Structure 1
């Protein structure tokens, strides 16, 4: 029969080891989350965007519901095309989705279209491999979010590369999220040579969600 003091010692040792193991697991979990956030491209401002901080109104409640359904169905289901005037919460919703999925350890890339264009342009006069690396960067993640699509007009080259990125995601049957201030017709014009093909792919891949109402930023500034 084992002495009571020995049993007590063993129990304490086991409890201590379990506590240490839980601490190590928590630290590793946080490291993974920090790495996913760092790789996502979300800036500090957008890392604070959540569903709970989203200002729900009669003009945008449908978008919030669609975003929550997107999370519940991920990685299945359609992507989202968030459209509407400036300052109505499109980027907030997209960033909130990114943050929520990262918490579930999915890989997410969040980029403004201007940054994507700049990266493509930086490959001019370089090897074709560099272009392929850029395409791979944006398509290997579980989710790509492109913010402000159509904000900057595209050349034939940037339009073609953007189409290749979106088409690869289409072929891999992954979802995508797009935010834009423009109608489909205006998007086609701003997206250049492959504008029609890009918009066609997005239309097939995404559920359109319209956010309307006043610009939050102007409203807050005047209040």
Structure 2
């Protein structure tokens, strides 16, 4: 049986071609394994680029749905007091725990930020949300409780043309579905939430807890006053979570004003579970 080179030579003679030039041109063509490596490398680069673009699009979509303040990031925090530094340390530990699937799936977790106005509570909560979105693509929703309660109140006017009831149903679904719900200004300017609001908030927190959904509550009330301010049912719902309380008592970032005796009488705080 003739070899491939002999068959090539015979074919060249019939065609009147120089068999040496044919052999040289064939030898210059990359073999299959080399071509395959080139194609695989290009395909992997294209896939990596597409994955990155898709992830960036998902993250931007998460930011758009969260309604977070863009300036609430860790690099813009002013670490000018011990309580802020301690809160940042706790926040980073909370973020880092999300890398453990067993922690995320074990039960619902809640952080309660409390203290006077302008202490950085909302900023740190927002910084946590920003990093969770970037690092773990966590779904986040930031809302002021009073705004939700007002929308809930107006949703009962079924003859209104502003579609408040439809908006409230849509928001209610978001409140239950997001991985991290941040409720700011809890019980703001109120000594006690109205009983209907207590029941609604308590039910919301219980449903989220049952689904292992995490929360951050931000309030100007002292922690010891929350059982009275939120009501027994609502506060018992909070206690269903793996709950951490973080007190803010450093200097105000909104200008000087009189400090409540209850907060100004202490020089620091010790975050803990209850």
What is the TM-score normalised by the length of structure 2? 0.67
Q: CA RMSD in A?
A: 2.9
CA separation of 1:4 and 1:71: change in aligned 2, threshold 3 A: farther
User: Structure with the greater relative contact order (CA < 8 A, sep ≥ 6): 1 or 2?
Assistant: 1
Check conservation: 2:62, 2:140, Cα contact below 8 A: yes
Map of 2:30 onto structure 1: 6
Aligned partners of 2:28 and 2:116: how far apart in 1?
72
User: Are residues 1:67 and 2:81 paired?
Assistant: no
Of residues 220, 237, 241 in structure 2, which corresponds to 1:181?
220
Alpha-carbon shift at residue 28 of structure 1 (Å): 0.7
1:196 to 208, 227, 232: 232
Shift of 1:148: 1.3
**Which residue is 1:19 aligned to?**
45
CA–CA distance in structure 1, aligned partners of residues 75 and 157 of structure 2: 46
Secondary structure at the aligned position of 1:6 is classed as coil
Distance apart, 1:167 and its partner CA? 1.5
2:118 paired with 1:95: no
Aligned partner of 1:114 in structure 2 is 146
Kindly name which structure, 1 or 2, has the bigger radius of gyration based on alpha carbons.
Answer: 2
Between 84-93 and 198-207, report the one with greater CA deviation: 198-207
The corresponding residue for 1:167 is 206
Contact persistence 2:155–2:166 (CA under 8 A): no
Q: Find 1:36's aligned residue among 59, 62, 79.
A: 62
The CA distance in 1 between the partners of 2:210 and 2:189, in whole Å, is 26
Secondary structure, in 3 states, of the residue corresponding to 1:216?
A: coil
Conserved? CA contact 2:144–2:185, under 8 Å: yes
State which of 74, 78, 82 in structure 2 corresponds to 1:55. Answer: 78
Matched residue count:
212
Aligned counterparts of 2:211 and 2:36: Cα–Cα separation in 1: 53
Distance 1:147 1:130, change over 3 A: closer
1:14/1:116 Cα in 2 relative to 1: closer, same or farther (>3 Å)?
Answer: same
Mark the runs of 5 or more structure 2 residues left unpaired by the alignment.
Answer: 1-25, 99-103, 159-164, 257-274
Distance in structure 2 (CA, Å) of the matches to 1:173 and 1:13:
45
TM-score scaled to structure 1, two decimals? 0.80
Determine whether 1:139 maps to 2:176.
yes
Q: Is the 8 A contact 2:111 2:215 kept in 1?
A: yes
Is 1:113–1:148's contact at 8 Å kept on the other side of the alignment? yes
Question: Deviation of residue 135 (structure 1)?
Answer: 3.6
